[in-house]
Structure 1
Amino acid sequence: MKQTAKKNDWVRIMQIILTPEERLESLPDSTRKVALKCWMNGFLLDDTAEPGDTVSIETLIGRKVTGTLYEAWPQYNHGFGRQQPALIHAGNEVRRIMKEAGKDE
């Protein structure tokens, strides 16, 4: 389902900085064969737009940038990954070592 964005909505756009043909030949093939992309968030300046449309935005610092609308109201979906078994008890182990060394105060 396409999500229509309206003027002043917070959106994410994408710009192609370098096409594969413009990338340096000294780069590894796996890197050189894909475009170098830049993702930016800002407030939509166009009246309405849908993902894939070319739009203009204004970033939080006031820059006006044009790119391809990727999504409206983007979310941050990153995390720190799964808990690492080797680190589960690290805090308790450090406290134990500090206490044995007399530096637990």
Structure 2
Amino acid sequence: MKQVAKKNDWVRIMQIILTPEERLKSLPESTRKVPLKCWINGFLMDESASIGDTVNIETLAGRVVSGTLYQLWPQYDHSFGRQQPTLMHAGNEVRKIMKEADKNE
């Protein structure tokens, strides 16, 4: 089923910032051989578009940006990973150290 975005839908576009040929020669080969890409979220300004179409969007900051329609209604799905056991008690330990330091002044 082809996904079609309509005007004012929240979408994500992709832009190629640098092609492999434009990348620095000093980069590792595995990095240098792929394009540098950027993803930007905003509201679709075109009447309608499908994934892969070149579109214009308006970002929350009011910038108008062009790029390839990448995703419809993107959501934030990142995390900071699982809790690190080493850091679980760090805040309490720091507070205890600071409290002791205040007593010694």
Farther off after superposition, 19-28 or 90-99:
90-99
In 1: Cα distance, 2:40 partner to 2:48 partner = 18
Residue 62 and residue 89 in structure 1: after superposition, are their counterparts in 2 closer, same or farther (change >3 A)? closer
In 1: Cα distance, 2:61 partner to 2:14 partner = 18
Would the aligned equivalents of 1:5 and 1:72 in 2 still touch at CA under 8 Å? yes
What is the TM-score when the length of structure 2 is the normalising length?
Answer: 0.82
What displacement does 1:60 show?
Answer: 2.3
Per the alignment, residue 53 of structure 2 pairs with 53
Identify unmatched segments of 5+ residues in structure 2. none
In 2: Cα distance, 1:13 partner to 1:2 partner = 17
Matches within 5 A, 1:1-105: 1-98=1-98, 101=100, 103=102
Q: Which runs of 4+ in 1 moved over 6 A?
A: none
SS at match of 2:91: helix
Would the aligned equivalents of 1:25 and 1:32 in 2 still touch at CA under 8 Å? yes
Amino acid at match of 2:77: N
CA-based RMSD: 2.0
Amino acid at match of 2:82: R
SS at match of 1:15: strand
Farther off after superposition, 89-98 or 24-33:
89-98
What is the TM-score when the length of structure 1 is the normalising length?
Answer: 0.82
Identical residues among aligned pairs (%): 76
Q: How many pairs align?
A: 103
